[in-house]
Structure 1
Amino acid sequence: MVLLALALLTVGTYAAKAAGLLVATDRELPLGLRRAVDLLPAALLAALVVTQTVADGQALHLDARIAGVAAAGLAVWLRAPFAVVVVAGMATTAGLRALGVG
């Protein structure tokens, strides 16, 4: 279900971007607006990750998953390869769960 929502949001985002460019073919977007539009898919993905990590529709859950996302975020900030980012988040979450944190 989450993957379907992610796919639909991705297609919708790019369709909206394409529609704007098709409507205004003779004009170019200002640089600041172009940068903002280019960042929309990443912002939507980040919002989905955070929502799926801390909420279940009824309440917020602050547990080992938050630390895993933080570790992955730190790895991204340090420009680690994608595999390292995934392993850092996974290992942090698994390690804290093994210690009984969440």
Structure 2
Amino acid sequence: MLALAVAALGAGTFAFRWAGPALRNRIRFPDRAVRLLEIGAVVLLAALAAVTTLPLGSGRIGPALPAGVLVAGLLAWRRAPLPIVIAAAAATTALIRLFGEN
């Protein structure tokens, strides 16, 4: 049963990856739909960041994790390269935790 599920997921993944280039010139989305998809992607990423940044129900939330995410958000907004964003967020979180804050 597990092998069947893995094969089905693999086939579905392959189909989705194949469909993009194969259908690129055949399907045109209305401008409104493209705009809504772009907004939806941003909202989804913001929700994911909020859920993973503030682990509600797991005890006290210290300032280190939200501060690291804030630094990452600011650098990403300023269009810094991704490795710089990740390193700065990790360093901010680590330094705040090093100096005694959870």
Q: Gaps (5+ residues) in structure 1?
A: 1-14, 16-24
Give the 3 Å change call, closer, same or farther, for CA 38–64 of structure 1 in structure 2: same
Structure 1 counterpart SS, 2:84: helix
Equivalent-residue separation in structure 2 for 1:28 and 1:44 (angstroms)? 20
> RMSD over aligned Cα, in angstroms?
2.9
Equivalent-residue separation in structure 1 for 2:37 and 2:60 (angstroms)? 30
Give the 3 Å change call, closer, same or farther, for CA 53–60 of structure 1 in structure 2: farther
Aligned residues: 80
Give the 3 Å change call, closer, same or farther, for CA 34–91 of structure 1 in structure 2: same
Identity %: 36
1:100 aligns with 2:100: yes
Query: Which position in structure 1 is the counterpart of 2:65?
Result: 65
Query: Which position in structure 1 is the counterpart of 2:19?
Result: none
Give the 3 Å change call, closer, same or farther, for CA 28–53 of structure 1 in structure 2: closer
Equivalent-residue separation in structure 2 for 1:43 and 1:66 (angstroms)? 18
Query: Which position in structure 2 is the counterpart of 1:44?
Result: 44
Q: Gaps (5+ residues) in structure 2?
A: 1-15, 17-25
Indicate conservation of the 8 Å contact 1:71/1:88, yes or no.
yes
Output the TM-score relative to the length of structure 1. Answer: 0.62
